[in-house]
Amino acid sequence: MPRQLQERLRAELRRELPPGAVPQAGDTRRLPLLQATVTETLRLRPPAPLALPHCARRTTRYGAAWTPGSILVPNLLAAHQDPDIWHHPEEFLPERFLAPGAPLRALLPFGCGARSCLGEALARAELFVFLGQILQEFRLEPPAPGLLPSLRVRAGTVLRCPPFRVRMVPCQAPA
């Protein structure tokens, strides 16, 4: 995460939370940049690259025709990288979710419909609280200058990134 973004997130946390308070799951409206950062993280790296299979109920045309009974497996990773929907899809830009008209309906990191993940609300809340608490106390840096982790992933049931290290540098409280 770029240092400038981390500083903006820390400023938002300091501005919106009383001294000594930690972010809570109900603070998403008060901390829009933190919420947008979690959302952008889920867009770039959804928990699973593919959603659960769906069965077409009627003939549908999207590129090819699917007849009733066709099994569809939505590719969430590809949908979140579609340049027709996402401006600069390969870049980490949390600000895209702060702008009016952000394509939130195209964001499906936990699937959609009857087969969406039941744990979505809990996962989002945990990511929000965890990231907020870490950024209140630490600056995240690569282990050495210029040594950034690879963003390449290996697809499987879940996405796997290569192991990486990060330095957690304690932040000094503003004077």
Low-confidence ranges of the chain (pLDDT < 50): 175
The CATH code for residues 3-48+75-170 is 1.10.630.10
* pLDDT at residue 173, as a whole number: 61
| Domain edges within the chain | 3-48+75-170
Would you say 111 and 119 are in contact if contact means Cβ atoms under 8 Å apart? no
The pairing of beta strand 71-72 with beta strand 54-55: antiparallel
Where helices occur in the chain by DSSP H, the ranges are: 3-16, 32-44, 76-79, 120-137
- Cα separation, 99 vs 56, in Å, equals 34
**What is the residue-wise DSSP string for 54-83?**
EE-SS-EEESEEE-TT-EE--BHHHHTT-T
Q: What local confidence, expressed as pLDDT, does residue 72 receive?
A: 80
Q: What is the pLDDT of the chain when averaged over all its residues? A: 88
pLDDT at 23: 95
Predicted pLDDT at 50: 87
pLDDT of residue 174: 54
pLDDT tens digits, residue range 89-134?
Answer: 999 999 999 999 999 989 999 987 777 889 999 999 999 999 999 9
Query: How far is the first Cα of the chain from the last one, in angstroms, to the nearest whole number?
Result: 25
The predicted structure's pLDDT at residue 121: 93
112: annotated binding-site residue?
A: no
The pLDDT value recorded for residue 62 is: 67
